[in-house]
Structure 1
Amino acid sequence: MSLQFVIGGSGAGKSYQLYKQVIESSQKEPNGKFLILVPEQFTLQTQKDLVTMHPRKGIHNIDILSFLRLAYRIFEETGGNDRLVLEDTGKSMIVKKVMMEKRNDLILFGANVKKQGFIEEMKSIISELAQYSIHTEELEKMKDVAKGKPLLNHKLTDIMTIYQAYEEFLRDKYINSEEILDLLCDVIDDSSFVNDCDICLDGFTGFTPSQYKLLSHLMKKAKSVTVTITMDESQIHRNQEEHQLFYLSGKMVEKLTDLAITQRIEIKPPILVASENGGFSYRFHNSRALSALEKNIFRYPYRSFTEEQDDISITVAKDPMAEARHAVIEITKLLREEHYRYKDIAIVSGAMEVYGDIVKRELELAGIPCFVDHKKNILTNPVVEFLRSALDVVTRNFDYEAIFRFLKCGLTDFTLEEIDLFENYVIAFGIRGKYRYEHEWQRMYRTNYEVDLEKVNYVRERILKEFTPLYETLKDKNSSVRECITALYDLLCTYHIEEKIHIFVEKFKAHGEEEDKLRAKEYEQIYRMVLEIFDRMVELLGEDVLPLKEFKDILDTGFREAKVGLIPPSIDQILVGDIERTRLKDIKALFFLGVNDGIVPKANPGGGILSDAERQLFADNEIELSPTKRQTAYLTEFYLYLNLTKPQNKLYLYYSKLDVSGKSIRASYLLGKINKIVPKLKIYDADKKSREDELLGTDQGLSYLISILRDYEGEQPNLWREVYHLYASGQIKGRISLDRVLQGVFYQNYEQGLTKEVARKLYGETLLGSVTRMEKYAACAFAHFLQYGLSLEERQEYKISMPDIGSLFHEALERFSKALKELGISWHELPEDVRISLGERCVKEAVENFGNGILESSKRSAYLATRVERILQRTTKTLTHQLQQGVFEPGSYEQYFSHADRYLNLRGRIDRVDLYEQDGKLYVKVIDYKSGSTSFDLMNLYYGLQLQLGVYLSAAMELMKEQYPNHEIHPAGVFYYNLEDPIVTKSSFVEEEIEKKLAMNGLVNASKVVVPLLDTGFRGEEGELAPSTKSTVIPVETGKDGSFTKRSSIAKEEDLITLMDYIKDLMHRFSEQIMEGKVRHNPYRAKNRNACTYCSFQTVCGFDCKVSGFSYRNLKTLNKEEVWNLIKEEDEFFGKDELDTGATEGN
């Protein structure tokens, strides 16, 4: 029995020396037993190393195990453990259950039971207590230490309550993974496995109390124990202070030595690796700079390496993405110029959650194979998503989000067409709740397409049938955990999930890409992992009856804890990993990304159940727990030392100016330390690197070639022309062909339109449409084609939109107006109480009749109904005032009209037509209600963007000519009335201010006879208009001399007639162009607005000003006088082939 240390700094060759010694001894003693113990994550690599080094490429009498695997090996021999080992998933489930049961007994933690993060913290504390062999007795001692500290005392009381309940649950049935070594110590004396065995320990930075306890047993039974220690040889006989680099190593030597002395075991002189090699560094024989860094980093005093060197460099980049991009460029150089292999290079970071995906993406873009070393969470896997969404369907009672999360997980048997059809129907009617699924769906919603109700009900029936067993089991308050898990398993079987996963695996394997191989390995494990979680839950809680929410939370905890471990699918690839977890072996170049403050060292996250000060208090009283944050900081330096000294030839350090959110960040203190040791560091700015460097790579070089081709005009630089020829000749191949790239870079939009035959097949011989359709064409011909030619439409949703509110206002007003007519009450004689009561009734009826009860489906919708009533009351009051100010009476409401010519059959409804008859003359006033803030704009009318009022006036005039053949028909005006209830600032004339804000806007006949008919306030003497008058009804104002001011919106009657004729001709021309097949992308742009801003087809039309062939139709800004002149010169306009009306094209 003996103990010996193999001592040397990082890279000295300790592992090599140890393995060489073991191999030689194993060959000399073929019947001897040799055991190498390494950390769990190092077992595979160590096996590879031993096989590679062994002359016979076999290690028949050498075992490579971790402590845990050693325990299982001995348990197999002795039968020492008949309890189930509890891993993290099971622990979390039990902690969740225990805390829910004990929440009323907890002083501080009861309110945190439902917080997933807190459950994880509590599980960590329990694991830590078990790892450091702390049980009830030790917790009582900790409470004694905490006397006089009420908060800490309460914490410990709660921890003890939870821990005792946890241990009681485990008693005689389960064992923590942290307690396995304690159990091993109880049975190891009955084992012969380690008797007279040469035991070596390699790769450890320290041991837990349980491991030290086991090592004391191993020392007694083994022939020899050899331990590698990372430490400067000069430090071996010195006491190490906590802040010193090799404190942990020194502490390990001290404890192991004490164990040996206590058991009277021989301590052999240490093997000093560097001394035995004549001071020669095994790893750094090619780099004096890296050797100097290893000897001096984190040491005081240190010696600077002042020679010129290019083995260590620092690069500053804009952000993490720029870091990764530059690192990949440098890697590509090493591969091409230095002939490195992929496996010779590694990338590490202290923030893999930030850098992992970024680095992977950049390497893939460059065509470089890589393996990202991390355990993957299974929450996003389709199988887990299938189960979690299925649980949500039940717990959330078939609500929309849960149903379609389930249907879209990728593992149901429904086709995409069935899911889309079903989703459209559910969204249109706002279907939620199992009750709705139990009855046949028969209603139709407004759409351009036929709804296949038979197919919709087929999906509904299947969902109901397949979910009913699960629903009934989970909703049964007497169902045990076993029964609930069985119901979930039955659902997996119903959908043949195991077979589907097998198909996925085969597909991934067939693709052959590295990423697909990894995905295949993940999917191969996932179904088994899910069943293990099911089994574990049944084992732990099988006959318990839990509330559904609690059952779901505990199962979800199991899914969150489970991780998929993946093995690299290939040997020759770049390893991307974490500075603490990843094992680096025989690398020539290391790229260390994210060397920023807050990452290196990691920012103190704060919190935790026990604070740093509380942990220090226990440490001061010789109660050992996990390292405090101060100790962790020193430990981080040790891990940094190990990583910085891993490469044989090159060390590349990177830091960013900005983090991923764009916030400014500082470089890590580490860079300053390295710069002091190696003052002649190469420091680069990634932003200033020449673009020639970016050529290296495949798809990467191609992407930069694309940008060059776009950016440069005329002659291209010779270098880039050479690169182009390399890709064109096929000497460099990327995932995207050069032909496709060129098509994209030099794409031009050529639009030929439709043939007349195709247009007629789309639209028919005659266009059926509204004014809105013509306005859509005027705004953009292609948008018109998408909406009315291809019949594209936005998905119907069960919600209140602005058009819906407008429709509700219109219906309520129509009901109000018709009710007045039925009662025989004139607006001019409408009593206030009748107006109010009638308004309330009409809004109620409109709401009840609107949208299948949508206004009663939520508090927000109910509020909208209240708002509609308030605005309707304001509207009826204002309309009453406006009519009473004039002599007109409403002649018709929602007046239907139609007009047909060669190409267009125009249809529509006029909200209100007011009439006044006098001396054989009939004056016509048209009002259109708007729920938004709409203003009449003559320029928009000229360009065809606002045709409504003109068309309505023309239609009303035609209808009145038919109804009153013996009268002269005269236009009085056309108006928008905005339905709103404005808020005014404090004023003694509130009602008057509101009336002004609600005045109609539009175009008024400028006749001195007509204006007083609209607002009697303009009646003056001897047929003249009253001077200095401003209407609160119409957009008219007179000056001191009784003439119209410039603010008045007026037109002579003959101009109004000309305007109506212009609009008719304009719509005829639009319809003619539509039937000729005009579908060009020609969105208008005027001032600070354009047709694309609120267009619902933006995602499908492909319009892009940066692409040749696309451009806006720029509308010239015109004043009223210019518009009227152009309208009167309509012949010139209609001689043009396009509808640009003087517009110019431009980007």
Structure 2
Amino acid sequence: MSISVYYGRAGSGKTRAVYERIRQVMTDCPGEPIILLVPEPATYRVERELAEFMPEKGFTTVRVVGFGRLGYQVYQSIGSKGAGQSSLSSFGRSMLLRLVMKRKQKELGLLEQATKRPEFSSVLQQLFSEFRAFRVGPADLERGAETVKNNVLQKKLRELAICMSAYEEELSRHGERDIDPIMEIVEALPQSPLMENSHVFIDGFHWFTPTHYELIYTLFDLAKEAVITIDLPMAPKALNLARRGEHLFSRPLEIYDTLVDRYGSSINWVGFDGKRGPQIVQELEANYFASPSKKNTTDATIPLIRGYNREREADAVARRILAYIESAEEARYRDVCIMLRESETYGDTLEKVFARYGIPHFIDRQRPMKNHPLGELLTALFDIVRHNYSRDSMFLLLKTDLMPLSREAVDELENYVLEFGIDHYKWERESWPYLRGFHEGQDEESHVDAPRRARVNKARQTIMDILSPWFDFAANAEGHTGAEWGTQLYGLLEILQVPERLYEWAKDAETIGDQESKASHEQMYNAVLSFIDEISMVMKDEILTLDEMMLLLEEGLSDVNYSMIPPSLDHVVITTIERGYSQWWPKVFVMGLNQGVFPQSMGDEGLIKDKERQELADAGITLAEGALPKAFNENFLLYLAMTRASDSLTLSYAGSGEDGTGLEPSLVVKRLESLGYVDQAVDIPLSIAPDTEADYVWRPLQSLSLLSERWGALFSGYEVNPLWWGLYNWARESETYRPRLAEVSRGIRDNNDVPVITQDLVNGLFLSKGYMSGSVTRLERYQQCPFKFYAQYGLKLEPRPVRSFGAPEIGTFLHANLERLGNYLLENNKQWRDLDEEEQENLCRTVADEILQENQLGEETSDAYQKAIEQRVQRTLHVTVDRLVEWSKRSDFDTKYLEQDFGRQGGWDPIRVPLGKDRYLRLIGQIDRIDEYTRDGQTYGMVIDYKSGGAHVTAQDVYYGLKLQLMTYLLALEPAYGKTHGGSMSPAAVVYSYVKNPKIPADAPISYEDAVSLANESDAWQNSGYFSDDIELLTHIDNKFLSYGSKRGPYVPIATKKDQTISSRDLRKVKSTGEFDIMCRYTNHVMAETGRHIGEGQFPIKPYQLNGLRPCTFCDYRTVCRFDSSRNRYNYLSKLSEDDALERMKEVLNDENSDNNGNRNNDRNSSNNGNNNNDGNNSSEGGENHGC
């Protein structure tokens, strides 16, 4: 036996010496086996490097292996089954451990609660693996419990010993041993013919566990020759080892000490002091990591990049890689490595950026598969049972594409379910009866929505035929055995034809070259089969509840990862320092040098804390180092990362995270700057700087994608670099890239404007019968934003209906109650004032229950939140009726009409507005309530519109066409009254009456009477709108009107002076009969003007803006119009006082009368269109538009 130790600093030539010695052995001892043991992630690259190093560019007798592969080859050579062929996976062992914890739970005290946590079995499994690696068993734990003085640690060790002992017994029952896989290799090695006259080389490691040392000792003892490399300075004994655990080379020093203790003087020490890499990297390796650190003495520095965020950082690295590839003919992508501390932070970002630049790459990482469709299918199957067919779990299942429904069928089903509020137990019904817009008395089968209902019910039945048996099985509260669960799950996968579906997906992915998707489909199915098999085997007779199965599934899916092999020989390697520390590359980029990222901040100390580990060490039980030594080891990992380059090293960090929060550079960066190893960081901004534009042009598609940003600069008035015009002209001449150029250059031609719609299209959409029909709400919406009108009423676009009991539904509910109550009164010749308290209470309760039942489609609801909303709404109804009764008692006006239609069958005549060219506007609508009062033979009418929000109207709103509703009702009322009664009706008021129960703040506790008074004086309950300027008439609307004086009453909220005239602050609320006439005639004018613009096909994207208010805030069509302030303009409206607005109305009407029609609207609007707040829930009116 010959043992040699090659030692030296990183890059000193140790690995090359190993290769040379292997080549010499192959020459001097042909046929003798050679084993080169390297870290597992390095085997692929080392094998290739060694083959290139050999004169024949290959070899036959050398086995390049990691510990796992070594075990496999040893077992294969002796025809034995080893740890690598264990019948239980890591998940199977974890499942066994969970079973042990369940059985031993009563014997545990300190760990009892922890055993109930889903992740604890993984924590315990890792701890037991550590125990095995350090050759610590249950007996050692018991001994430690007797020795240590810490009471908590004593209990912890005893309970761990109980679990570990029971776990070993359970493994034994399944034919397994709780032994470290490395120790199994140690036992098998002496029997293997591989070791006969063997030459063993161990390279690239910097730390070993006790079981690793046992394997090394065995290899050395059986080998003819053994060589091991250690990263240590030339004179390791001269190092300052006073605080060995905090030393940069503490781990390699541990290897050094262990080998000396074991083999002493028989070791042949061979030192190497060669240098690798550029001078600055050598200086960094020798001096920066010295203690104390020394300043850079060379003229060179290491490039440092600071990206605005991680994507910009990755973009800068990608461009430097491309620059290197184009710098020399012999440059290859395989010369480049990106070194990370961990792959999750940068993996996806680098993949996206490298794909954009077309850089071949391979990320050396395990990819989680929890979000694979099959994983989501299994998760959803259990969620459906736990949450009783909840909507979320049902559509998580259906959207996996593994159910026998097309995506179109799933989308239609989802729309139907959302529209009718289907959830939970409703999925189990034999069929769903719901139809959109169905009313009692209609024929269901001939209803326009009947075919959709039939398709949806067919899809529902297809799903439930599969899910019902599974639900009945899984919902059994007593649970099932593991074998029964496994049989049921496997049967479901067969029914759903999952194997065939995944095979097709994998084949399709292979066809388009998507190797990652192919690997995920293949490996995920195998992993799920393994999961089911192990459930059936390990938990064969164990009763498992639904919750326990869900816990096992969560653990099983979290353990499932899929791996990839490099797609080619020439690619950029993206790896972590812990997987790539044993290799080197000509060009290395160390990314992510941010505080807490690299070096990495230490997390939780684990189940056994650092102090407890020290106590155990004092008791003779050695475990892995704790969090503090690991923190010091981060320096050694940094040392390894920065010494992997043989040609050039580049460092980088990000200035902000994905969410925009600032990131600090690592302290390493600051030290490198202070010692002169790096220059000032090169800043990579979020947007391309003008003087760096040429640096971004590398690939045709990637470069063309940047053109849209350049056109944005052009439209902002900036000069565009000729480089981009050159790219534009080149792509325009290319058949290959011209389509992509057209996509990215839309910004040159697209001003986001809507051209005038052709007359034929306008006629088809709005004037198919020669007239335009609709409510005043439509005209208001045109004035608010012409394009919104076109999208909603022309294109018929609408948001997906979702059943809820929010503000619109609450308003509809309250309005329906008031309508039904009002009709009851009219049918019985009663007014609100005629209801006594008991009758009022009974009526409100009965009507509310009826309408709630209808609103819920005749079903009970189990939603506690919705129940609370309903109760609150019923309280609001009672409060509202109280107010209406009180008002009626104080008023001489009587209600004559409720929900009075005009323009509809059985109602009053429509409002007809001529548009010219034999076309007209036919306005229809519904007035909530009309009250009448007759004085001296003259009838006065009061129009009341119920609102659940805070609606208000001003003359300014009428002038700009934003709120025409109340005046339109007067236009419908006056001729209809004349036609019906043969006389005229004068306006007494047009008001919004509020249907709500607001909270009124009080400064201190008050009596009920004071509370009522305070509520009456509150603006929240006061009617709003316009009232007659006739004081006497106002007293008939509210007999107590004058008693409020300078205050405002709830029903006529107008203050008066001592002489009983209108207060100046409320003059804007009162109008003379002539002023009412002006506002009505002007409303007619605006409607005609709006109708003409619609008839001309004018639908520009031009929402109004008035006093900072815009209709865009709650607009459902923002994603359609794509309003952009750089390309579109608001219709800016100036603020007008009440008097100014009325004066302008008069001027317009006078101009109209004098037939001076040119540009009639120029003074009214800055363009031929207006603005909107009226989204079904008008934000300016604050409520629903019941009358429209």
Identify whether the pair has TM-score above 0.5, normalized to the shorter chain: yes
1:112 aligns with 2:114: yes
Letter of the aligned partner of 1:840 in structure 2? R
- Check the 8 A contact 1:855/1:862 in 2, yes or no: no
- Check the 8 A contact 2:977/2:985 in 1, yes or no: yes
2 CA distance for matches of 1:677 and 1:530? 54
Deviation at 1:304, TM superposition (A): 3.9
Q: Which of 405-414 and 953-962 deviates more?
A: 953-962
Letter of the aligned partner of 1:157 in structure 2? R
1:609-1008 matched pairs, under 5 angstroms: 609-675=607-673, 678=676, 681=679, 683-687=681-685, 690-692=691-693, 694-698=695-699, 699=701, 701-712=703-714, 716=719, 720=723, 724=727, 727-728=730-731, 737-763=740-766, 764-765=768-769, 766-821=771-826, 825-852=830-857, 856-898=861-903, 899=910, 901=912, 903-965=920-982, 967-982=983-998, 983-986=1000-1003, 989-997=1010-1018, 998-1008=1021-1031
2 CA distance for matches of 1:361 and 1:62? 39
SS for the counterpart of 1:1142 is: coil
Deviations 1:985-1037 (Å, cap 9, x if unpaired)? 146733222123322111112234422322334579xxxxx976744321323
- Check the 8 A contact 1:897/1:907 in 2, yes or no: yes
Letter of the aligned partner of 2:994 in structure 1? N
1 CA distance for matches of 2:432 and 2:519? 44
1:1064 aligns with 2:1084: yes
Tell me which residue corresponds to 2:163.
162
1:1131-1146 matched pairs, under 5 angstroms: 1131=1149, 1132=1151, 1135=1157, 1142-1144=1164-1166
SS for the counterpart of 1:615 is: helix
2 CA distance for matches of 1:735 and 1:307? 51
1 CA distance for matches of 2:108 and 2:1161? 77
2 CA distance for matches of 1:1084 and 1:504? 51
Compared with structure 1, are the counterparts of its residues 662 and 1058 closer, same or farther at alpha carbon in structure 2 (3 Å cutoff)?
closer
Match of residue 524, structure 1, among 513, 522, 525: 522
1 CA distance for matches of 2:831 and 2:805? 33
Deviation at 1:43, TM superposition (A): 1.9
Compared with structure 1, are the counterparts of its residues 715 and 130 closer, same or farther at alpha carbon in structure 2 (3 Å cutoff)?
closer
Deviation at 1:498, TM superposition (A): 2.7
- Check the 8 A contact 1:778/1:944 in 2, yes or no: yes
Tell me which residue corresponds to 1:1037.
1055
SS for the counterpart of 2:246 is: coil
Match of residue 1117, structure 1, among 1132, 1135, 1140: 1135
- Check the 8 A contact 1:37/1:66 in 2, yes or no: yes
Deviation at 1:756, TM superposition (A): 3.0
1:396 aligns with 2:394: no
- Check the 8 A contact 1:293/1:678 in 2, yes or no: no
Compared with structure 1, are the counterparts of its residues 663 and 177 closer, same or farther at alpha carbon in structure 2 (3 Å cutoff)?
farther
Deviation at 1:701, TM superposition (A): 4.3
- Check the 8 A contact 2:419/2:803 in 1, yes or no: yes
Deviation at 1:671, TM superposition (A): 2.9
- Check the 8 A contact 2:171/2:178 in 1, yes or no: no
- Check the 8 A contact 1:760/1:1075 in 2, yes or no: yes
- Check the 8 A contact 2:791/2:797 in 1, yes or no: yes
Compared with structure 1, are the counterparts of its residues 1105 and 303 closer, same or farther at alpha carbon in structure 2 (3 Å cutoff)?
closer
1:137-216 matched pairs, under 5 angstroms: 137-147=139-149, 149-173=150-174, 175=176, 179-216=180-217
SS for the counterpart of 2:1101 is: coil
1:1089 aligns with 2:1089: no
Compared with structure 1, are the counterparts of its residues 832 and 478 closer, same or farther at alpha carbon in structure 2 (3 Å cutoff)?
closer
Compared with structure 1, are the counterparts of its residues 313 and 734 closer, same or farther at alpha carbon in structure 2 (3 Å cutoff)?
farther
SS for the counterpart of 1:11 is: coil
- Check the 8 A contact 1:229/1:249 in 2, yes or no: yes
1 CA distance for matches of 2:1001 and 2:1112? 34
Letter of the aligned partner of 1:228 in structure 2? T
Q: Which of 358-367 and 625-634 deviates more?
A: 358-367
Deviations 1:207-256 (Å, cap 9, x if unpaired)? 21112222232233221221111111221676852222222222213223
1 CA distance for matches of 2:1162 and 2:540? 76
2 CA distance for matches of 1:889 and 1:178? 94
2 CA distance for matches of 1:732 and 1:159? 70
Compared with structure 1, are the counterparts of its residues 723 and 358 closer, same or farther at alpha carbon in structure 2 (3 Å cutoff)?
farther
1 CA distance for matches of 2:500 and 2:1163? 64
Gaps of 5+ in 2: 439-447, 904-909, 913-918, 1172-1188
Deviation at 1:825, TM superposition (A): 4.6
1:568 aligns with 2:566: yes
Compared with structure 1, are the counterparts of its residues 175 and 256 closer, same or farther at alpha carbon in structure 2 (3 Å cutoff)?
farther
Tell me which residue corresponds to 1:272.
271
- Check the 8 A contact 1:17/1:273 in 2, yes or no: no
Gaps of 5+ in 1: 275-279, 1021-1025
Deviation at 1:1076, TM superposition (A): 3.9
Deviations 1:35-58 (Å, cap 9, x if unpaired)? 112222222222212222222333
Match of residue 1106, structure 1, among 1110, 1126, 1149: 1126
- Check the 8 A contact 1:306/1:680 in 2, yes or no: no
Match of residue 406, structure 2, among 415, 423, 426: 415
Letter of the aligned partner of 2:49 in structure 1? D
Tell me which residue corresponds to 1:1023.
none
Tell me which residue corresponds to 2:1037.
1014
- Check the 8 A contact 2:880/2:996 in 1, yes or no: yes
SS for the counterpart of 1:1129 is: helix
Deviations 1:1044-1098 (Å, cap 9, x if unpaired)? 2231301111221232233234334433433443333232221121121111122
Letter of the aligned partner of 1:1144 in structure 2? S
Q: Which of 721-730 and 1001-1010 deviates more?
A: 721-730
- Check the 8 A contact 1:316/1:686 in 2, yes or no: yes
- Check the 8 A contact 1:580/1:639 in 2, yes or no: yes
- Check the 8 A contact 2:713/2:719 in 1, yes or no: no
Letter of the aligned partner of 1:974 in structure 2? V
SS for the counterpart of 1:6 is: strand
SS for the counterpart of 1:439 is: coil
Letter of the aligned partner of 1:791 in structure 2? K
Tell me which residue corresponds to 1:331.
321
Compared with structure 1, are the counterparts of its residues 758 and 851 closer, same or farther at alpha carbon in structure 2 (3 Å cutoff)?
farther
2 CA distance for matches of 1:373 and 1:1138? 72
Compared with structure 1, are the counterparts of its residues 332 and 732 closer, same or farther at alpha carbon in structure 2 (3 Å cutoff)?
farther
Deviations 1:536-567 (Å, cap 9, x if unpaired)? 33232233221012112202211111111112
Deviations 1:394-442 (Å, cap 9, x if unpaired)? 3333221111111112333422221111111111222233563341122
SS for the counterpart of 2:645 is: coil
2 CA distance for matches of 1:235 and 1:389? 59
Letter of the aligned partner of 2:1039 in structure 1? T
- Check the 8 A contact 2:891/2:1038 in 1, yes or no: yes
Tell me which residue corresponds to 2:257.
254
Q: Which of 465-474 and 237-246 deviates more?
A: 237-246
Compared with structure 1, are the counterparts of its residues 935 and 478 closer, same or farther at alpha carbon in structure 2 (3 Å cutoff)?
closer
Match of residue 559, structure 1, among 548, 557, 560: 557
Report the RMSD for the aligned CA atoms in angstroms. 3.1
Deviation at 1:888, TM superposition (A): 0.6
Letter of the aligned partner of 1:991 in structure 2? V
4+ runs deviating over 6 angstroms: 447-450, 729-736, 1136-1141
1 CA distance for matches of 2:295 and 2:571? 35
1:377-392 matched pairs, under 5 angstroms: 377-392=368-383
